[in-house]
Chain A
């Protein structure tokens, strides 16, 4: 296999893993209250 093809495969694999981790990261149960706290902070900031 060519080195360029290998790099292509691994780079796609890396991006796919990153996207899976994005889903895991944002689906933990604490994420919703976390983001609500942040929204509250920014609403107050907008004042």
Chain B
């Protein structure tokens, strides 16, 4: 059983800490006896993120405590993505055991290196724990002195607990998660390799070209537990990191710590964030990574190349998270370039040698600490697409001044905009969505999602703060605003709030500014914020998760909490005829079974079992003999066919022959129908064939 990784660091003098460690060890021991998978999962995560936190403790002169928490998360996430990419792309051995031991080894080396650098190991360990304790005490002292903040924090805490409860209780039920986010995980887990899958359908082609960094994080939260039960809570971690990031940016922009905490806390109260925190989407992750990168670039006002390295790593993860990644890289690179040019121009009056040195230094900084980690952590997916499809952002076509640089299939987003937008101007669309002219909130937002805080408090706060910053020449605030507004303006479909969650972050920071400057009226402003936070807390309910479904799922055994039993509003209309065979698969397809399918299904994800330990393969052919041969080659155990399809007729014909000649003993049955409804059949391939 792995020992508690923190135990050897604790000072003997501090009995309370020792007691805590013993308690944690006991807890882990109990879990180890009860469930080895959970133990491994907790142990590897504790060691991985804690080792980076200890490592960053040595950077405490240039990075604040909050920045080191964010930094540990980013370094841990980068380690997860890098090790999975190494095992999946190079060695094609991306399984639980190699992944576990590789990460244990790396984290142990990081921890030993971090501890060995200190002269007095006992005081070093004591400093780490006392810093955490003091930060928590300071935070609670801040809360005690501000009743409204305390009430909003309680609302946040209750909401977060509710999200965790729903994430644990319900399976992943969102459209894109079932369509491609989770199938990406399934394809990787069934082969132990990150490779192209057969390109027979639109969605399989999309799965091939989609950057997969966040899906690798989903995989991390499935592979050790051998279950996808908490994979839909991955984005909640990004939400928490986003709150810390907003706080950190606000502090760097000279907002008082108390009001920066307000900004960070209110970042949570966007309905799109609350609803998407329990889904396998990537929008919160993308926006939060963008904000984190800005935060570490702001750090660079100190003479620290380490914060620039963290900005580079964050941008690398962001680049590999979604097809819009390159847009953020260009904007962040431009921001870095502008900053360096301003620094360079300030050296005009100094001798020319210094100017040359400054130029060389900033180029070196950019290339080594920013661009290199970006390409290492996020570049693989684009290089691979470039080699295989001749276009790094395939299937999008890239043209400049009508000159096609990269050929593709589409020149823009092919999905049509909502009909209510017909005839609306650019600002008309934004007003329509920001005034939330929708009858319910939804995880993919569409016509709402920012909630009343944005429209009523954050939007005017941004206008006031920006004008104030222009008058008072607060260039850092202007720079951060310019970067975020540029990203907003260049984002495709920026009326859709889930694509531009970072804009809500800018509003939260601006609100911190307002609280700092309108001290006399802060009581009234905070009261309005409290009322709106209460409103969001009680209205950000998903129509996909109703109280009756919660009650039903509480009484269901864990194995039956499947998307088919859930029948969520988001997919129900399209998926009703699919539920039967999805339920059969979730109950009967075991580890090592291979399900062959012969048509393009509505969703791929429900065709795996919940541990993604079964295999799934598309097998189609023009002739029965060829098809039958491919079934054998793929060790197929089950076949999913549409009723009355060509394959169904072949199977029926084969069964008719074997039953009519079976009495001779010469022909044994090849197929056995184990599930059948009006639309689908599942056939078991009997092992005694031939």
User: A-side interface residues toward B, CB under 8 Å?
Assistant: 7-8, 10-12, 14-15, 17-18, 21-22, 24-25, 28-31, 33-35, 37-38, 41-42, 44-45, 47
Closest to A13 in B: B464
Residue in B460, B518, B547 whose CB lies within 8 Å of A45:
B547
Residue in B519, B521, B543 whose CB lies within 8 Å of A37:
B543
Supposing A7-B517, A10-B464, A14-B461 touch, asked if A34 and B439 sit within 8 A by C-beta, the answer is yes
Asked if A37 contacts B435 (CB within 8 A), the reply is no
Asked if A47 contacts B455 (CB within 8 A), the reply is no
Q: Is B456 an interface residue (CB 8 A)?
A: yes
Complex CA–CA separation, A30 to B432 (angstroms) = 11
Residue in B436, B457, B521 whose CB lies within 8 Å of A11:
B521
Can you name 20 extra interface pairs (CB under 8 A) apart from A7-B518, A37-B440? Answer: A11-B518, A14-B464, A14-B518, A14-B521, A15-B521, A15-B524, A15-B528, A18-B456, A18-B528, A21-B459, A22-B456, A22-B528, A24-B435, A30-B438, A30-B439, A34-B440, A44-B547, A44-B548, A45-B547, A47-B547
Q: Is B351 an interface residue (CB 8 A)?
A: no
**Would you call the interface of chain B mostly helix, strand, loop, or mixed?**
helix
Residue in B437, B440, B460, B548 whose CB lies within 8 Å of A29:
B437
List of B residues within 8 angstroms of A30 by Cβ: 436-439
List of B residues within 8 angstroms of A42 by Cβ: 538
Q: Is B541 an interface residue (CB 8 A)?
A: yes
Closest to A32 in B: B439
Contact with A along B500-543 (1 / 0, CB 8 A): 00000000000000100111110011001000000000110101
Q: Using a CB-CB cutoff of 8 Å, which residues 413-467 of chain B contact chain A?
A: 435-440, 452, 455-457, 459-461, 464
List of A residues within 8 angstroms of B548 by Cβ: 44, 47
Residue in A7, A17, A28, A35 whose CB lies within 8 Å of B520:
A7
Asked if A8 contacts B456 (CB within 8 A), the reply is no
Closest to B525 in A: A15
Closest to B517 in A: A7
Complex CA–CA separation, A4 to B525 (angstroms) = 17
5 contacts between A and B (CB under 8 A): A8-B520, A28-B437, A31-B436, A35-B539, A44-B547
Supposing A17-B460, A25-B436 touch, asked if A41 and B546 sit within 8 A by C-beta, the answer is yes
CB distance from B161 to the nearest CB of A (A): 15
Complex CA–CA separation, A38 to B461 (angstroms) = 28
Most chain B beta carbons < 10 A, residue from A14, A34, A35: A14
Complex CA–CA separation, A20 to B607 (angstroms) = 52
Residue in B436, B438, B541 whose CB lies within 8 Å of A41:
B541
